[in-house]
Every structure is written in structure tokens, then in C-alpha cells.
A and B are shown apart, each in its own frame.
Chain A
Amino acid sequence: MSSPTGSDATTPGREPERIHAVPVRYPGRWVAAAVVAVIAAMAVHGLITNPRFAWPTVGKYLFATPVLQGVLWTLALTVGSMVIAVVLAVLLAVMRGSDNPVTRAVSWFYIWVFRGTPIYTQLVFWGLISVLYPKISLGVPFGPEWLSFTTKDLVTAFRGALLGLALNEAAYLAEIVRAGLQSVDRGQHEAARALGMKEGTILRRVVLPQAMRVIVPPTGNETISMLKTTSLVLAVPFTLDLNYATSAVGNRIFQPVPLLIVAAFWYLLVTSVLMVGQYYLERYYGRGFDVHKVNAGPQGPRRGRAARQAAINAAHTTPEPTPLDEMGGGLHNPGGVQ
């Protein structure tokens, strides 16, 4: 069908002439780039040539054994406490949204206490737990005891630090998880109920996987924040983490600055690794939302916030009419059941 105006652009068999216009110039960008380059060069030059940074000392201790061990302890504290916190947070968020007033109140109280007191105070408390409760025993409340432990053996400095960090973090994460659960469309819960699913199944299979899309980005933020919060565990006191290990060396050799640089280097490196992990987690939980209408292979969901938003917007009204004959063929397919 040729268009009524008969323009070249719509005549079949002839390529329309593509526009090759001269793009707009932005001289301001070049000026800005030059300014940034000069400032950066000055900063780097200043860092390298300033003898007070003691770069040889930085190099000497960058891979020193106590520093590397500190990195490992810090990682263990970060990952361990976050794992415990996430599990606890999901539990707290579900309790918070429950019909049961008792679980709702318990969850509210937990979040109130652990979010409302400083983490440092909590860590000191976990360090003192063996003084407050020298013995912990299992048994009938107010009745006989079956098993008892000396608290000092049960709650070591590391476990106290891990526990303190995790219990505090869980209170914050619980609110993030709650927001995530609330972000899932009511219709999802309803459709699952109409299919006969039980509440637990609905949470596990339908609501939580969709909530993860909302939960993961702020949780990544919390994980990076936790990496640095581990430097407070000296309150327990736990003294093998990266921050304490580097400052101990710095104090011993009377050169705190190079050791601060060593610590900063490792914190930054670990943060970068965590950011990569977050990227893949976000991509995994974005499946089905990240799909690009135009060139989406079924197995190749594409990434990007704009694309994701577009996909959500388009989810209900994508104008792609199916040819009716294709449909009719399916409808009367003898392979269909019944």
C-alpha cells in the first residue's frame, strides 16, 4: 500500500535516506573534563609526593599477616551477621504482618528495642553477658534443669560480636523486608489464594520472590554499611578485625596514617566485591521484570531500571495482537485435553 502522499520514504523497494546531521557541540563538557583532570592530577601528585603518607610503609603492611587475617575476620563477621540478620528479619517482618496480635507485638517490641539503642551499647552488653548471666541452662521454666553451659564458653568474643551485629541489623532489615512484602500487588496474594495455596506457600513461592526485587538493593546497602560497622566490635571486645588489627600495628610502629590507608584499601576492595555480588542478585530477582519487549529472548532477560519500569508499565497493555487464525488453530487442537 503506497501512502496517499506518495513520499519516497514509504515507497516499497527503496531505502529511505537516513539523516546524518552534525551533532550539537557541548564545549562546556570539554572545559569541565579539563578542570577535573587538572584537579585529579594535583591530588594524585600530592598523595604520591607527600612523604607523611609513608607509602613504603603502606606497601610493607598491605599484605602483612595480621592485616590479611583482619580482612578475613571482618568478612566472616559481615557475612555471618548478615545471613543471621536476613533470616531473623524475614521472620520478624512476617510476624509483624501476621493476624496474630501476640506475634505482632513481639515483633514490634524487638524492633523498638534493637533499633532504638546504639549498636555500641548493644555490643558492650553482649560482651558483658557472661558477667550478667554466668550460667545458661535448658530445662523447665522455674523447674528442673537438663543442660547447662558456662556462658563464657558459649558466648566467645567472636560469637558475642556476631550476635550483637546480627540482632541489631535484623531490626533494620525487618523494616526493609516489610516494605518489600507490602510492595507486592494484592492481586498476587489473591490469585494464589484462589488457586488453593496456603499462606506459607504463598509467602514462599509468590510474595517473597517478588519482594526480593525491592529488598535486595537496600540490603546491599546495609551489607556495605555492616562491613564498616564491624569496626565497632572492639566494644565486645573482639580485637582481630581489620580496623583493630591495622590500628594496633599503626600504634606499635608510631605510624598510624599508612595503616589507615591499608585499612581503607581493604574496606574499599571488599565493598567493590560486594557490589558485584549485589549486581548478580538484583539481576536474578529481576527476572520477569527486566524483560525487554523488543528483543527479549525467553532466556535472556535484560537489565536496567528503565527497562524494568517499562516492562512493568507495559505488563497489562502490550499491544501485540495475535492473529486470530493462529489462535483458532490452537483452540480446536485435538491434542487438547477433554
Chain B
Amino acid sequence: MSTTTDATVPMVELRGVHKWFGDAHVLRGIDLVVPKGTVCVVLGPSGSGKSTALRCINQLEEIGAGRVILNGELMGYREGVRGGRPTLYRLHPKAIAHQRAEVGMVFQRFNLFPHMTALGNVVEAQVQVLRRGKDEARSRAVDMLRRVGLDDRMEHYPAQLSGGQQQRVAIARALAMDPELMLFDEPTSALDPELVGEVLAVMRDLAASGMTMIVVTHEIGFAREVADQVVFMADGVVVEQGTPDEVLGSPREARTRDFLSRVL
């Protein structure tokens, strides 16, 4: 791993990323830089490609053109030379899995493992991927569940937890892997309104601790309060980006203004 702790190297860099699903051209050249320790909130109407962009970062989707660079390391490919010309070699799935382990991801529908308890969910990947011992993984899981306020729900199965509690377990599960970057894909969209607050509180706490985060959300209040950078996407391109004050306070583009007037 050529990862680095140099603070000048951005945590994530997307350079001209394109993505096609068959004939559908869903990402049309995304450029984005997320510095270490910052929070980037991605806004946009549904179908704008924001979730796809997020999934391209940890290679859940294979990109069609461009580069995704995580902490100075090219994701999904190795640069080499073939026939005297610079060429990309696709990495073996195991190597990609290794790269993914450095990025935590939280999904809209939680995707907890229903056959494992909350504790089991947080322990599992630590043991299977990081090869931590049972005891170490367990104590780390307990710490993480305490951090999201669920140390009294450790032996519960996901079906016994509320949506907000499930999403907090999902956050704990990702954090237990010691990720350098956390991706949130509409983490509160599937929640009942009264449960949104508890999840946002955990995310706010996480941002305050210095975690680098990219958050796809419709929670404008969260963006205004927590984001260092707000990105507005539509039709597979970044329409506008800047500080929350710039993008949310005085948007330059008509499409941004139109979107904000409808969600606020």
C-alpha cells in the first residue's frame, strides 16, 4: 500500500470519472477533491448520479473512464507499460477487496446481516478481513457500539432494532474497520422522521472527531452545519461546488437554485 499520511495529499480525488450502464451515460466527467479531515456533502435530484459517484469511489461500480485516487493510490487498477505504452491493468478482485477495506460505507437500507446480532455484525469483518482475534474484535466492537450509543442493544438481532438503531449499528460496523474515509449513501432516507435525528447526531459527532466523510443526503440542515464543501450534481455532472454558504446561501446556477427552492 502506498498510502500516506501527508496532509497535502487529498483523501479522495476523482479525475474526469465517467460511468455507463449499457447505453445510459450516468456520470459525465466528475472532478472532485476531498481533503483529509473534511466533510463533503453531495446534493442533487434523484437520478443525478450522486449515489453512483459514491459507489465508484470504493469500486462497487467499475468506472468507464477517468481515475479514482484514494490517499494517493489508484483505485481498481495498476499502472504499467505494455508494448512501450502506459497501460492500466485491472486489479485482481482480492486486491480490490483489500482497497475497499480502507473505505467505510453506510447504505440507505442499512444492509445489516440479519442472521447476526448487532455485536456479531460489528465483529464479523474485523475477523474475516482484518484477521483480528476474537477478543480484540469483540472489545473493539463494544467500543464502537458504545460510541453510537447502543451498548445496551449488542445482543439484539437487526429485526429487533428500530431503523435508527440499525443505521447506527451499520455506522459502528464500518467504523470498527478503522477506515480512512466514510461514505454515506442517503443514510437517513429510509428512516421514519423521528429517527433521523439520532443518526445525524452520530454523524455530526464523527465529523467533529476529524473523520473524512462524503455524504449523499437530502438533509440541507446537516449540510449547512457540518459540511466543509457542498457539491451539487445534476444529470451526471457537478453543477456547482463550494462552501455551504456559497452553494446553499447564494447559488450561482439556476439549476441549483431551482433544486434548493424545492427541498427547502
What is A's interface to B at a CB cutoff of 8 Å?
185, 187-188, 190-199, 201, 205-206, 209-210, 285, 287-289, 291, 293, 296, 298-299, 301, 311-312, 314-322, 324, 326-333, 335-338
Given known pairs A326-B149, A337-B147, the reply for A321 and B194 (CB within 8 Å) is yes
Q: Do the beta carbons of B177 and A195 come within 8 Å of each other?
A: yes
Cα–Cα, bound, A328→B94 (Å): 39
In the assembled complex, B73 has its CB within 8 A of some CB on chain A: no
Checking B94, B103, B148, B157 against A330 with a beta-carbon cut-off of 8 angstroms, the contacting residue is B148
Checking A298, A318, A336 against B162 with a beta-carbon cut-off of 8 angstroms, the contacting residue is A318
Checking A188, A190, A333 against B60 with a beta-carbon cut-off of 8 angstroms, the contacting residue is A190
Listed by A's residue number, 14 A-B pairs whose Cβ atoms lie within 8 Å are A194-B103, A195-B174, A196-B97, A196-B101, A198-B93, A287-B115, A288-B159, A298-B156, A316-B163, A318-B162, A322-B195, A327-B149, A330-B147, A330-B148
Cα–Cα, bound, A28→B209 (Å): 71
Cα–Cα, bound, A333→B60 (Å): 34
In the assembled complex, B255 has its CB within 8 A of some CB on chain A: no
**Chain B, 189-221, contact with A by CB distance < 8 Å: what is the 0/1 string?**
010101101100110010001000000000000
Q: Do the beta carbons of A299 and B155 come within 8 Å of each other?
A: yes
- Chain B residues numbered 120-166 whose CB sits less than 8 Å from any CB in chain A: 124-125, 128-129, 140, 143-144, 146-151, 155-166
What is B's interface to A at a CB cutoff of 8 Å?
58, 60, 93-94, 97-98, 100-105, 107, 109-117, 124-125, 128-129, 140, 143-144, 146-151, 155-166, 170, 173-174, 177, 190, 192, 194-195, 197-198, 201-202, 205, 209
Cα–Cα, bound, A285→B114 (Å): 11
Q: Do the beta carbons of B201 and A331 come within 8 Å of each other?
A: yes
Closest residue on chain B to residue A318 by CB atoms? B162
Least distance between A329 CB and chain B CB atoms (Å): 7
Given known pairs A188-B111, A289-B115, A321-B195, the reply for A196 and B159 (CB within 8 Å) is no
Q: Do the beta carbons of A199 and B160 come within 8 Å of each other?
A: no
Closest residue on chain B to residue A314 by CB atoms? B159
Known: A191-B107, A194-B105, A321-B164. 9 other contacts (CB 8 A): A196-B129, A197-B129, A198-B94, A201-B128, A288-B158, A298-B117, A316-B166, A333-B146, A336-B146
Q: Do the beta carbons of B101 and A322 come within 8 Å of each other?
A: no
Q: Do the beta carbons of B98 and A196 come within 8 Å of each other?
A: yes
Checking B97, B114, B170, B195 against A198 with a beta-carbon cut-off of 8 angstroms, the contacting residue is B97
Cα–Cα, bound, A304→B201 (Å): 37
Given known pairs A194-B60, A333-B146, A335-B143, the reply for A199 and B93 (CB within 8 Å) is yes
